[in-house]
Amino acid sequence: MSLDLNFAFTIVVALFLLYVVAQAIWIFREYERGVVFTLGRYTKTIGPGLQFVIPLVQQVVRVDLRVKVEDVPTQDVISRDNVSVKVNAVIYFRVVDPARATISVEDYMMATSQLAQTTLRSVLGKHELDEMLAEREKLNSDIQEILDQQTDPWGIKVANVEIKHVDIDESMVRAIAKQAEAERFRRAKIINSEGEAQAAQKLVEAGKTLSEQPNAMLLRYFAALHDVAGNRTSTIVFPIPMDLLSGLKS
């Protein structure tokens, strides 16, 4: 009977020692770190590779350092010109300080996602619809900079923010199309007016040159006669000014 008790006691001790050894040995991958707490107080950050801790006295929180991709849910945004749009985005961030990411915030993934949603609405609400559609790179940079500043105390680095979609109502799409058509018509009128002004200026310069050179005027007159003579459908009487003939005599 005593042998059975000794054997059972030996088994219990062996299992306990095995448990202690298992709790003492930690293996961290290259992209992982361990935040060590000794009796509840932060002690150090360990990893990567094989690491040892004191079982029952020290506790370890494993933290992933890889870049994380968080899809920001679609947000209803009112632009500065009072247009309602639906916007969604994606953010790329990673942990740069495992200790702060563990101690300063309960769930840094959730906190970063919620902060991204409020920042997205706040930043886009300060811009007009045209800016949201045409200046997306600038808006991405502004949102990324604000998020990076606010998540820095948590040990989080926001690397990039990308606005994926800006959805607007069908009625607003038609209004934008009409506005674009009106803008194209306005530019065409301006270009046409500029062309007419340039043509008028060239005609003035040509008339001035012809008035100063009678022989050139005569050549232009003969060229006009040649062009008219090519049309054989009718008979045209074309008078010759006497001043042009006088130019030939000279």
**pLDDT tens figures, 137-148:** 999 999 999 999
Q: Which H or E element spans position 114? A: helix 108-124
pLDDT for res 6: 75
- Give bridge partners of residue 42 from the DSSP assignment: 37
Architecture of domain 68-168: 2-Layer Sandwich (3.30)
Residue 95: count other Cβ atoms within 10 Å of its Cβ: 23
Residues in the chain where the model's pLDDT stays below 70: 1-4, 170-181, 203-204, 206-250
The letter for the amino acid at 83 is: V
Q: 193-224 pLDDT, tens per residue?
A: 877 778 777 766 766 665 666 555 555 665 66
Residue in the block written with tokens 């038609």: 174
- Give bridge partners of residue 156 from the DSSP assignment: 95
- CA dihedral (225, 227, 228, 229) in degrees, to 10, reads 80
pLDDT for res 216: 59
How far is Cα 132 from Cα 124, in angstroms, rounded to an integer? 7
pLDDT for res 102: 94
Q: What is the 3-state secondary structure (H, E, C) of 186-207?
A: HHHHHHHHHHHHHHHHHHHHHH
For residue 180 the two structure tokens come to 């674009």
Please count the helices (runs of H) and the strands (runs of E) in the chain: 8, 8
Those residues whose C-beta lies under 8 Å from the C-beta of residue 104, and which sit 6 or more positions away, are 153, 154, 155
Those residues whose C-beta lies under 8 Å from the C-beta of residue 227, and which sit 6 or more positions away, are none
Domain ranges (residues) in the chain: 2-63, 68-168, 172-203, 213-250
pLDDT for res 51: 92
Those residues whose C-beta lies under 8 Å from the C-beta of residue 167, and which sit 6 or more positions away, are 74, 85, 86, 87
